C-alpha cells in the first residue's frame, strides 16, 4: 500500500505519519493532487482558483498530548477566500483549508482540561512554540514561528484530524456549527481588546463581513456607539436588523461626509478596518478623530502607506491585531452559552462535502448575500 499526499506538511507531521504506517508502507509527497488507497473525505486547494474533492488516509492513534477529533463543521473565512484568489500572505499550495472548526473528540489521552471522547469542542487553530518572546509574554497569537491550521499547515476540511489537546475548548451546550464560529469571534474580541475601548466611545467599523461582525459584537459589549461602512447594502441591512446600528453607510466617495454628518461633525475615536483591502485600509485615516486609534484587523499582501504629516499632526495611533488568545475562546463560549452573543442569524449559507466546490464558487461572487457560510462534513 502506498499512500499519496499532495500537501507540504510540517516536517514533524510527516515524521508522525511515517511512524504510523505499516513497515512496508512508503509516504510520498508529490506536487499532484492524487491519493491512492485512502478513505477520508478531504478538500484541497491545489492552486489559486482550483479546489479538489478527494480522499486521504485518516490519522491512526493518538500521541501524548494530542486528540483525534471528528470534524463536524468548518466555517468559511476571508482567509479561505483570499487563498482561493491567490492573495493570502504566508500561504503555500496545495493546502487542505479549514481553521474554523467545530469538532467531536474521538480519542484522547490524559489531559489537563478533563476532556473525554464525545465532547464537542471549538479548535484553537494557532500552533505556537511556547518559547519565543511573544509566547513568554502570553501573546501566542503572534508567536515567531506560529503555524495556523489551514494556512501554514493542513487544516480541517477533512473528516478527522489530530490536534493538541490543549487547543480544544469544550462546550456542553453549543452545537458544532456554533463552535465553528468561535474562532471568527475571537478575531473581533482580540481586536477590541487591543483598542481598549471605553463605554460610550464613538467607533467605526469598515467591512461588515464575519470579521467585521465579530468586531461589532465585542465593541457593543464594551459599550461603544457604532457606525459601520460597507460596499454591500445587504450587509448593512444585516447590521441594522441584528445589531440595531443606525449609522450604516455605503462605502464611496461621499462616505466621509455622510459619516461626519451622522456624527454631528465629530469623527470616531476608534476606527477598525476589517476589509482586507489595501485601498480601504489606507483610506481609514480620513475617518479618525484627533488623537484617535486605527486598528487593522484585516491583512493584505500589499504595502500600506499614509501621509506622515497628518499622522503626526493628529497624533494617531496605529495598531495591528492578529488572531486571538486562548482566553478569548473560553470567554466567547461562555458568552454564547449565556446568550450574551447570538450568532444563529450569522449562518446564511451552508454546503455538504459533495456540493462544496459549486457552492464555494457562488459564495465568492459579489452580491452572493453570504454573511457566514459553513461546511458540513
Do both 44 and 105 map to the same domain?
A: yes
Do both 130 and 230 map to the same domain?
A: no
Q: What is the 3-state secondary structure (H, E, C) of the chain?
A: CCCEECCCCCHHHHHHHHHHCCCCCCCEECCCCCCCCCCEEEEEEEECCEEEEEEECCCCCCCCCEEEEEEEEEEECHHHHHHHCCCCCCCCCCEECCCEEEEEEEEECCCCCCCCCCCEEEECCEECCCCCHHHHCCCHHHCCCCEEECCCECCCCECEEEEEHHHEEEECCCCHHHHCCHHHHHHHHHHHHHHCCCCCCEEEEECCCHHHHHHHHHHHHCCCEEEEEECCHHHHHHHHHHHCCCEEEECCCCHHHHHHHHCCCCCCCEEEECCCCHHHHHHHHHHCCCCCEEEECCCCCCCCCCCHHHHHHCCCEEEECCCCCHHHHHHHHHHHHCCCCCCHHHEEEEEECCCHHHHHHHHCCCCCCCCEEEEEC
Do both 152 and 45 map to the same domain?
A: yes
Do both 367 and 298 map to the same domain?
A: no
* Average pLDDT for 68-81: 95
* Average pLDDT for 244-248: 94
The 10s digit of each residue's pLDDT in 76-130 is 998 999 999 998 888 999 999 999 999 999 999 888 889 999 999 999 999 999 9
- Position 37 scores a pLDDT of 45
The 10s digit of each residue's pLDDT in 53-68 is 999 999 987 888 999 9
Do both 54 and 130 map to the same domain?
A: yes
Do both 116 and 173 map to the same domain?
A: yes
Question: Does residue 12 belong to any structural domain of this protein?
Answer: no
Question: Does residue 110 belong to any structural domain of this protein?
Answer: yes
* Average pLDDT for 332-347: 93
Do both 47 and 161 map to the same domain?
A: yes
Range of the domain at 87: 38-181+343-376
- Position 87 scores a pLDDT of 87
Percent of the chain with pLDDT over 70: 90
How many domains are contained in the chain? 2
**Residue 31, pLDDT above cutoff 70:** no
pTM confidence score:
0.86
pLDDT mean across residues, the chain: 89
Percent of the chain with pLDDT over 90: 80
Do both 74 and 124 map to the same domain?
A: yes
Amino acid at each position: 500500500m502506498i499512500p499519496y499526499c499532495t500537501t507540504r506538511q510540517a516536517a514533524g507531521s510527516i515524521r508522525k505519519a511515517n511512524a504510523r504506517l505499516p513497515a512496508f508502507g512508503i509516504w510520498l509527497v508529490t506536487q499532484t493532487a492524487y491519493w491512492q488507497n485512502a478513505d477520508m473525505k478531504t478538500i484541497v486547494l491545489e492552486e489559486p482558483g482550483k479546489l479538489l474533492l478527494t480522499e486521504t488516509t485518516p490519522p491512526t492513534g493518538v500521541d501524548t498530548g494530542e486528540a483525534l477529533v471528528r470534524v463536524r463543521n468548518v466555517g468559511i473565512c476571508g482567509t479561505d477566500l483570499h487563498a482561493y484568489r491567490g492573495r493570502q500572505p504566508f500561504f503555500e499550495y496545495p493546502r487542505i483549508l479549514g481553521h474554523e472548526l467545530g469538532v467531536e473528540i474521538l480519542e484522547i489521552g490524559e489531559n489537563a482540561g478533563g476532556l473525554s471522547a464525545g465532547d464537542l469542542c471549538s479548535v484553537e487553530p494557532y500552533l505556537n512554540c511556547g518559547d519565543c518572546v511573544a509566547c513568554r509574554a502570553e501573546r501566542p497569537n503572534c508567536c515567531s514561528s506560529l503555524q495556523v491550521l489551514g494556512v501554514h499547515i493542513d487544516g480541517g476540511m477533512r473528516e478527522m484530524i489530530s490536534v493538541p489537546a490543549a487547543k480544544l475548548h469544550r462546550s456542553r451546550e453549543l452545537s458544532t456549527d456554533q463552535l465553528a464560529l468561535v474562532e471568527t469571534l475571537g478575531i473581533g474580541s482580540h481586536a477590541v481588546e487591543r483598542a481598549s475601548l471605553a463605554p460610550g466611545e464613538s467607533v467605526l467599523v469598515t467591512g461588515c463581513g464575519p470579521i467585521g461582525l465579530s468586531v461589532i459584537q465585542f465593541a457593543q459589549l464594551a459599550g461603544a456607539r457604532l457606525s459601520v461602512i460597507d460596499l454591500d447594502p445587504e450587509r448593512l441591512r444585516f447590521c441594522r436588523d441584528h445589531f440595531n446600528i443606525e449609522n450604516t453607510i455605503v462605502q464611496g466617495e461621499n462616505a466621509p461626509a455622510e459619516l461626519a454628518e451622522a456624527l454631528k461633525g465629530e469623527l470616531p475615536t476608534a476606527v477598525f478596518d476589517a476589509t482586507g483591502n489595501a485601498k480601504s485600509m489606507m483610506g481609514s485615516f480620513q475617518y479618525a478623530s484627533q488623537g484617535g486609534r486605527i486598528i487593522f484587523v484585516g491583512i493584505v499582501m500589499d504595502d500600506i502607506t499614509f501621509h506622515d504629516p497628518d499622522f503626526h499632526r493628529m497624533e494617531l495611533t496605529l495598531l495591528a491585531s492578529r488572531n486571538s488568545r486562548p482566553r478569548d475562546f473560553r470567554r466567547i463560549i461562555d458568552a454564547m452559552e449565556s446568550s450574551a452573543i447570538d450568532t444563529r442569524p450569522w449562518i446564511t449559507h451552508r454546503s455538504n462535502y459533495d456540493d462544496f466546490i459549486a457552492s464555494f464558487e457562488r459564495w465568492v461572487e459579489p452580491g452572493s448575500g453570504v454573511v457566514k457560510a459553513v461546511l458540513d462534513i
